[in-house]
Structure 1
Amino acid sequence: MTAPARGRGRPRDPETDAAILRAALEVFVERGIEGLSIEQVAKRAGVGKLTVYRRWATKEELVSQAIQTMVSDELTLSLADLDALSPYEITERALPAAAELAASPGYRALIARIWGSAVSHPSLMAVTWERYILPRRRLAAYLIERARQEGLLAADADADVLIDMMVGAVMYRALQPDPPDTDEMLRYLRAVYRQAGLLPPEPS
């Protein structure tokens, strides 16, 4: 007797997905998007390459989802959180996890690879922007609007400019030759957010 055919709606094995995503992230950090192939990822994950292709049509989509597995979801606050807390409370709650992430060697290597691929493989940045960065920017913009309505920021404060300034400052500091540890990164993040108006001034 032959085995019954598997239905097209058969649930994916989450352990297989996790192994593929881990392998994709490792290969991406080691070799960049130019040096990554589906075959290499499949071999490292211990699966056939067709298993990978059934899940992700392109290596850019695969890497983009793998990036999301590294960056903690704890950094993302819901709109309900934003409405329930003050802008200062929201910022203070998010900063410890953000500092730990930004100070980790894996994160430094990851962002270097992402931005290094922006020109040569714009599709990777496009997918990452749409699926990961843009939702977080929208939440940050909502937080900035809350702060503006409460009089913590100038009425003409530009949310996009403020977000770019804060993200750019963190990336620049993280990619320096002698990057800060978690404690120093937390101190630096507090200074950045204080300058942006999302933390209260230090007591004089």
Structure 2
Amino acid sequence: MAEPGAVAGVERHGRPRDPENDAAILNAALDLLIERGAAGTSIEAVAQRAGVAKLTVYRRWRSKEDLLMAALEHARNPDMDEAPAGRTIDELVTSTAELLSRPRFRALIARVIGASVDYPKLVTAYTERYLRPRLDALAEIARQAIDAGHFPPHTDPGVIHDILAGSIGSVLLQHEQDVTAAQVESRLQALLRHIGYRP
């Protein structure tokens, strides 16, 4: 996340930026967000964890919220950004189950949700950049599955969307650390079968 008016790869004072420092700072910010939450994370703690001077962090990001938003973007999984065209419900369920089985991912989402009151911009950015595109893709995949005859005629794509999104939210709220991808996938597939899904 470049600062306004800054040239990519150059700090505000004209010195070249070190990509390794950027990565170390963003990784440290993400780790601390997961461990302590947004309220418990500070620029000072991030700098110490990353092994850089506090000024090095401030040259790149003007506030903690900007830094945390950049850290979330840094953690984004490119595999989840592929276009929905051609993807099946089964493929979506499998990839979603694998992601939801990661304790670190579930912890990150819980921290982001927990920051909604004190750091609304953080949640808004995460929703707009990460969640909304995936929910829109889910709705499109649902429509494609209906058109392909995998659901009864006249099935509302919104129902499929709501069932899967609700189930995903339920998994994210669980505190167990040993939820497996197979368990999540089985649950999602069972819900789909209840509304008439035919692979």
TM-score (norm 1): 0.74
Distance in 2 of aligned mates of 1:102 and 1:113:
15
Matches within 5 A, 1:49-64: 49-64=54-69
What letter is aligned with 1:74?
Answer: D
CA distance in 1, matches of 2:136, 2:115: 24
Name the CA distance, whole Å, in 2 between partners of 1:164 and 1:50: 45
Quick one: structure 1 residues 156 and 60, their matched pair in 2 at CA, closer, same or farther if it must change by over 3 Å?
Answer: farther
Deviation at 1:56, TM superposition (A): 2.8
Contact 1:71 1:101 in 2 (8 A): no
Q: C-alpha offsets along residues 163-189 of structure 1, whole Å, 9 cap, x if unaligned?
A: 343223123124324452222122223
For these two proteins, the number of residue pairs brought into alignment is: 185
Give the superposition deviation at 1:158: 5.2
2:123 is the alignment partner of 1:125: yes
Alpha-carbon contact 2:89-2:142 (below 8 Å) kept: no
Cα offset for 1:151?
5.0
1:42 equivalent in structure 2: 47
Root-mean-square deviation (CA, aligned residues, Å) is 2.8
Question: Does the C-alpha gap of structure 1 residues 122 and 194 become closer, same or farther in structure 2, counting only changes over 3 Å?
Answer: farther
> Which structure 2 residue ranges, 5 or more long, are not aligned?
1-5, 10-16
How do 1:79-158 and structure 2 match up within 5 A?
82=85, 85=86, 89-150=87-148, 152=150, 155=154, 157=156
The 2-side partners of 1:90 and 1:180 are apart by 24
The separation in 2 between residues aligned to 1:194 and 1:63, in whole angstroms, is 39
Structure 1 runs of 4+ off > 6 angstroms? none
Counterpart contact for 1:101–1:107, Cα < 8 Å: yes
Question: Contact (CA 8 Å) 1:24, 1:63: kept in 2 or not?
Answer: yes
Indicate conservation of the 8 Å contact 2:89/2:141, yes or no.
no
Q: Is 2:180 the partner of 1:181? A: yes
3-state SS of paired residue (2:88)? helix
Identity rate, percent: 37
Equivalent in 68, 71, 74 of residue 66 of structure 1: 71
5+ long unaligned stretches in structure 1: 1-7
Amino acid at match of 2:23: A
Tell me the TM-score normalized by structure 2: 0.75
Contact 2:100–2:184, Cα closer than 8 Å, also in 1: yes
Q: Give the 3-state SS of the residue equivalent to 2:24 in structure 1.
A: helix
One-letter amino acid of the structure 2 residue matched with residue 191 of structure 1 = A
Residue by residue over 1:115-156, the C-alpha shift from the partner in whole angstroms, topping out at 9 and shown as x without a partner, is 112223222111111222222222223223333444545547
